[in-house]
Amino acid sequence: MSATVRTFRAPDSTSVLAAVKAALGPDAILISTRTVEGGLFRRPEIEVTAAAGPLLEPTAGAQPLAATVAQRAYGSEAAASVGLGSGSGPRPAPGAPGGRPIDDPLASEVQLLRRSVEEARRALATVTREARSGHELQIPPAAAEVHAHLLARGVEPALAEDLVRQALASAPSARDLVAAVRDLVGERLVPCRAPWLHDGRHVLALVGPTGVGKTTTVAKIAARALLESKKRVALLTVDTYRIGACDQLARYGEIMGVPVLVARDRTELLRAHERVQDADLVLVDTAGRSSPEDVARQADLVRALPKVQLHLVVSAATGAMELAAVAERYRALRPDRLTLCKLDEAAGPGAVLSAAVRVGRPVSCVTDGQRVPEDLHTLSAAELMDLVLPENYRSARKE
């Protein structure tokens, strides 16, 4: 029977220990604790990694490891409050400090054990994926390893198989195979010039599903254009559906000192566009739409603007199948560019390949945080390929 290792977070030690007890039982072993700093709008949290199962067996007459680590991290009262540390071993003497540091030999051994367990689990999972892939797909072991890595990066299975099979046709060795897969990825994820660096007047509309970060991305592009390119910028919005959307963009415009105009229909949009004729860069924010009919109507609305360029905004934190569905839904709009948001939240950034292959348009920029405009970037061809198959990837097998 293998141990179960899980990580918990809560605002305070009492809450996080209660969560450990509820999920893993009163005999859970606390492996590590740390404080996770918050941000501007988030409070710090306590993070605890705990295990349940035959991870360690305490010797006769010794205090259970759960109690020991809990007392070292939080004190004996906090450990006892959730049932951890309630074994028959000796309790701290009255007046003994409960919050002793955990950077001692015992804690080091626990950390080493935790790393060993995690490495063993990862190795077992990798071997299992490779064996299954090689058997089911009938591909060489080195190719199965690359295939498993693509799946771990978030690439959808059919696309991962297609990449590997195409690479096998021209790659005689494992090293050549990795290079061939990266080349194939590079053909599908192509960079282009940043939207704030275009010469002359430029009109750009951001479209995409709800919650992908269109409004914040509009503000980031506007700030980049103002600060780096010294362009005159104007903001338009047709997002009159989402509560507070216009106010949010208006606040950004007020901070940056740029005009923000709201349009509820085609006539108002054209009129607003005429009022900002002196702007070098006009950015249009749109509402997130879900049904194909709404998407088509929105496309007709923004396409009314002369020489408008549509940027489809997708979230890299969305799974590959969901991204594929989004790309299919918006492909009818014939977007000109692809913008990748929330890379910082993506467990499998390779999922963006699903949108790229279906839309077939270059990537204009990416975002990896909420800061305006620091968390907006352009990526080179090599950096885009790294999202799917990092350049420093090395096969674990010897050629």
Is the model more confident about 68 or about 107? 107
Instruction: Check residue 109 and give its pLDDT.
Output: 58
CA distance readout (Å), 75 to 36, 72, 385: 19, 6, 48
Check: CB of residue 326 under 8 Å from CB of residue 209. yes
**Banded pLDDT at 185 (limits 50, 70, 90):** very high
Domain segments of the chain: what residues?
A: 4-102, 126-188, 195-378
- Flag whether pLDDT at 86 surpasses 90: no
Give the mean pLDDT of 209-231. Answer: 90
- Flag whether pLDDT at 389 surpasses 80: yes
Residue 48: DSSP 8-state: E
Instruction: Check residue 41 and give its pLDDT.
Output: 52
**Banded pLDDT at 3 (limits 50, 70, 90):** low
CATH class of the domain at 195-378: alpha beta
Non-local CB neighbours of 207 within 8 Å, separated by 6+ positions: 214, 286, 295, 298, 299, 302, 310, 311, 312, 313, 330, 333, 335
Please provide the average confidence, as pLDDT, over all residues in the chain: 78
Give the mean pLDDT of 184-199. Answer: 91
Minimal CA–CA distance to 372: which of 276, 277, 235, 279? 235
Farthest-apart Cα atoms in the chain, separation = 83
Is the model more confident about 259 or about 80? 259
Instruction: Check residue 17 and give its pLDDT.
Output: 83
Helix spans in the chain (H)? 13-24, 65-74, 76-81, 105-137, 141-152, 157-168, 174-188, 214-227, 245-256, 266-275, 292-302, 320-330, 352-359, 381-388
**Banded pLDDT at 275 (limits 50, 70, 90):** very high
Minimal CA–CA distance to 230: which of 279, 273, 266? 279
Instruction: Check residue 117 and give its pLDDT.
Output: 65
Instruction: Check residue 224 and give its pLDDT.
Output: 92
Is the model more confident about 262 or about 68? 262
- Flag whether pLDDT at 171 surpasses 80: no
**Banded pLDDT at 21 (limits 50, 70, 90):** confident
- Flag whether pLDDT at 74 surpasses 70: no
The dihedral through the CA atoms of 119, 122, 126, 128 has a sign that is positive
Give the mean pLDDT of 247-265. Answer: 89
Alpha carbon 136 to its chain's center: 30
Instruction: Check residue 164 and give its pLDDT.
Output: 92
Is the model more confident about 34 or about 379? 379
Helix spans in 169-213 (H)? 174-188
Compute φ and ψ for 171, nearest 5 degrees. -115, 115
Rounded-to-integer distance, Cα 105 and Cα 298, Å: 63
Is the model more confident about 195 or about 1? 195
- Flag whether pLDDT at 66 surpasses 50: no
Lowest mean pLDDT among 61-65, 305-309, 394-398: 61-65
**Banded pLDDT at 83 (limits 50, 70, 90):** very low
Instruction: Check residue 55 and give its pLDDT.
Output: 42
Helices (H) and strands (E) in the chain, counts: 14, 11
Instruction: Check residue 261 and give its pLDDT.
Output: 92
Q: What is the pLDDT of residues 200-218, one digit of tens each?
A: 889 999 999 888 889 999 9
Measured in residues, the chain has a length of 399
Residue 277: DSSP 8-state: T
Give the mean pLDDT of 107-115. Answer: 64
Cross-strand pairs, 179? none
Instruction: Check residue 42 and give its pLDDT.
Output: 60
Give the mean pLDDT of 148-159. Answer: 91
